């Protein structure tokens, strides 16, 4: 692998060929703000918050740090006045849509955003595409970006309650503005986009403790993948907690049979 000589904010550092600017910056303790990036997912470079200036072969240009692969020696400015100014505008524009996001509020302070310049559009979504990419990585089909221009939005196919959702909650976890939520109600898991139910997944009831637990489809998928080789096979009618407990009891019994010190205990709390 070729080693590249990079001037990062005036400091000489080395980089591996193909490494992104964001990775290099993180290795060198330089913070670049990101909104649509997750190291677990393919970069989409949609928010543009991570934009920096690169001077390669004498030509300066603006590129996004999260997906720009370093291929030759270059100078990088991650915090120039031009860069900071652009980020300030991105924050101002997004704050007009999502004023309640703590992440954006924090950035607004750091970049001295003027929040009076753009009237509120109260849309709630910053269109970072993290949920759709996370979903794609898990099931591939439930959430996607639909529409064009300002009408672009996260949606299930034809805005109908989705049949593909496995209720994994990855979208809920990853949303940077907390606009996707999850509720388990009466044996069903609901995923809510801006408060509106977009999927309903049936939850199984644990035969040991009676609690509803992880969605059935999820387990079926796992069993599909693991096949018959997994011993013991995952138990679709016992919750993970009880499964763990039951296994411990079994092992404990064996231990007692060998060493004679096992205290029988009741089942896991059915709370």
Site residues (CB under 6 A) for ligand FES, limited to 31-50:
34-37, 45-50
Residue 179 contact among ligand FES, other proteins, none, beta carbon within 5 to 8 Å by kind: none
Is residue 104 within the footprint of other proteins (CB under 8 A)? Answer: no
Residue 212 contact among ligand FES, other proteins, none, beta carbon within 5 to 8 Å by kind: none
Nearer to other proteins, 150 or 258 (CB): 150
User: Shortest Cβ distance from residue 45 to ligand FES (Å)?
Assistant: 4
Nearer to ligand FES, 67 or 235 (CB): 67
Residue 118 contact among ligand FES, other proteins, none, beta carbon within 5 to 8 Å by kind: other proteins
128 Cβ contact list (under 8 Å, min separation 6): 35, 36, 44, 46, 47, 176
- Which of 13, 152, 192, 236 is in the footprint of other proteins by CB under 8 A? 152
Closest to 238 (Cα-Cα) out of 217, 209, 269, 218: 209
* Ramachandran category for residue 66: left, alpha or beta (phi over 0 → left; psi -120 to 50 → alpha): alpha
- Which of 57, 150, 258, 264 is in the footprint of other proteins by CB under 8 A? 150
Closest to 174 (Cα-Cα) out of 35, 12, 30, 6: 35
Measure the CA–CA gap between 242 and 164, rounded to whole angstroms. Answer: 28
- Is the C-alpha dihedral spanning 17, 21, 25, 26 positive or negative? negative
Is residue 93 within the footprint of other proteins (CB under 8 A)? Answer: yes
Measure the CA–CA gap between 42 and 166, rounded to whole angstroms. Answer: 21
Residue 50 contact among ligand FES, other proteins, none, beta carbon within 5 to 8 Å by kind: ligand FES
Measure the CA–CA gap between 99 and 108, rounded to whole angstroms. Answer: 10
For residue 249 the two structure tokens come to 């009891």
User: Shortest Cβ distance from residue 232 to ligand FES (Å)?
Assistant: 43
* Ramachandran category for residue 179: left, alpha or beta (phi over 0 → left; psi -120 to 50 → alpha): alpha
- Which of 8, 126, 206, 219 is in the footprint of other proteins by CB under 8 A? 126
Is residue 132 within the footprint of ligand FES (CB under 6 A)? Answer: no
Is residue 67 within the footprint of other proteins (CB under 8 A)? Answer: yes
* Bridge partners, residue 164, by sequence: none
Q: Which helix (H) or strand (E) holds 102?
A: helix 102-110
User: Shortest Cβ distance from residue 34 to ligand FES (Å)?
Assistant: 3
Site residues (CB under 6 A) for ligand FES, limited to 149-208:
none
3-state secondary structure of 184: strand
Total residues contacting ligand FES (rule CB under 6 A)?
A: 12
* ∠ CA 180-38-48, rounded to 5°: 90
Nearer to other proteins, 30 or 70 (CB): 70
Is residue 68 within the footprint of other proteins (CB under 8 A)? Answer: yes
Q: How far apart are the first and last CA of the chain?
A: 56
Q: What residue ranges bind ligand FES (CB under 6 A)?
A: 34-37, 45-50, 64, 66
Q: What residue ranges bind other proteins (CB under 8 A)?
A: 43-49, 51, 62-64, 67-69, 82, 85-86, 89-90, 93-94, 96-97, 117-119, 126-127, 129, 145, 147-152
């Amino acid at each position: 692998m070729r080693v590249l000589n990079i001037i990062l904010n005036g400091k000489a550092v080395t980089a591996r060929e193909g490494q992104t600017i964001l990775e290099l910056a993180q290795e060198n303790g330089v913070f670049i703000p990101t909104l649509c990036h997750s190291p677990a997912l393919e970069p989409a470079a949609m928010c543009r918050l991570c934009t920096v200036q690169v001077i390669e072969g004498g030509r300066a240009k603006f590129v996004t740090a999260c997906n720009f692969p370093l291929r030759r020696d270059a100078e990088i400015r991650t915090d120039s006045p031009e860069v900071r100014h652009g980020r300030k505008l991105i924050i101002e524009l997004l704050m007009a849509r999502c004023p309640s996001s703590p992440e954006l509020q924090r950035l607004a302070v750091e970049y001295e955003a003027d929040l009076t310049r753009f009237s509120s559009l109260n849309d709630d979504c910053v269109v970072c595409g993290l949920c759709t990419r996370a979903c794609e990585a898990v099931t591939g089909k439930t959430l996607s970006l639909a529409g064009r221009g300002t009408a672009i939005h996260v949606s299930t196919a034809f805005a109908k309650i989705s049949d593909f959702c496995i209720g994994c909650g990855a979208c809920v976890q990853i949303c940077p503005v907390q606009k996707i939520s999850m509720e388990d109600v009466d044996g069903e898991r609901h995923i809510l986009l801006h408060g509106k139910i977009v999927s309903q997944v049936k939850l199984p009831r644990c035969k040991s403790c009676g609690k509803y637990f992880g969605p059935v489809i999820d387990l079926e998928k796992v069993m599909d993948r693991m096949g018959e080789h997994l011993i013991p096979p995952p138990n679709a009618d016992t919750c993970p907690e009880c499964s763990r407990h039951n296994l411990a009891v079994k092992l404990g019994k064996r231990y007692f049979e060998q060493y004679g010190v096992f205290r029988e205990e009741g089942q896991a709390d059915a709370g």
